Homo-oligomer: A and B are copies of this chain.
Amino acid sequence: MKELSIPSKKRLILLERLLCDYPEKTITSPKIQDLLGYSAAVIRKDISGLGVNCGASNGYKVAELRQALESALKLSGDEHKCIIVGLTRLGQVLLDNPQLENSSFRIVAGFDSNVNRTEVLKSVFPLHPTTMLETIIKAEKITYAILTTEESEAQDMAQKLVACGIKGIVNYTPCVLTVPQGVQVQNVSLIMSLKALTALT
């Protein structure tokens, strides 16, 4: 089966989430259009790209479709281990984030360059000074990092994380991170998100 395109994947991620709490047994492409705002045609193409045919010309079976989505988007199966880097107030809030329960993502540690913070703060996950980054990332096979440092540290940390083998960064700092090809970054700081709203209006 050929690879899904990036625009297609982005839509399918939303669809996957939509189906998480969809009450009906089946769903049609016009219905998805109403809920997601994409055209029914593009949704059908996207789903057809999944390879499974769970639409018997009278709507898709929600359960089957969900499973196909999870597998195609690598959201089932092996757990993805994450760390939080930067125990700022935002970092602390994200540390025990109930959103991740029952997901394929798990936060396994927190880091801060300020040893005070790692010693004083309490969490269900171990907190380490950033000097331990390499050891732990490699030992625990961490794939993703959630970056919540001060701005001044952000690029430095990103570089270190990439050097340790991190494959993706959720960037809650407003900094533009320079990373090599193949490393994914999602910029989700408040200010950058607001700028995106403005520009795309």
Contact = CB atoms under 8 A, between A and B. Distances in A.
Interface of A: 6, 9-10, 12-14, 16-18, 34-37, 73-75, 80, 82, 89-90, 93-94, 97, 99-100, 103-105, 144, 146, 167-170, 174-176, 178-179, 181, 184, 186-201
A94 B191 CA distance: 10
Copies of this chain, tallied across the complex: 2
A196 B93 contact: no
B37 A199 contact: no
A197 B186 CA distance: 7
A18 B194 contact: no
Nearest to A182: B201
Contact of A82 (B13, B186, B194): B194
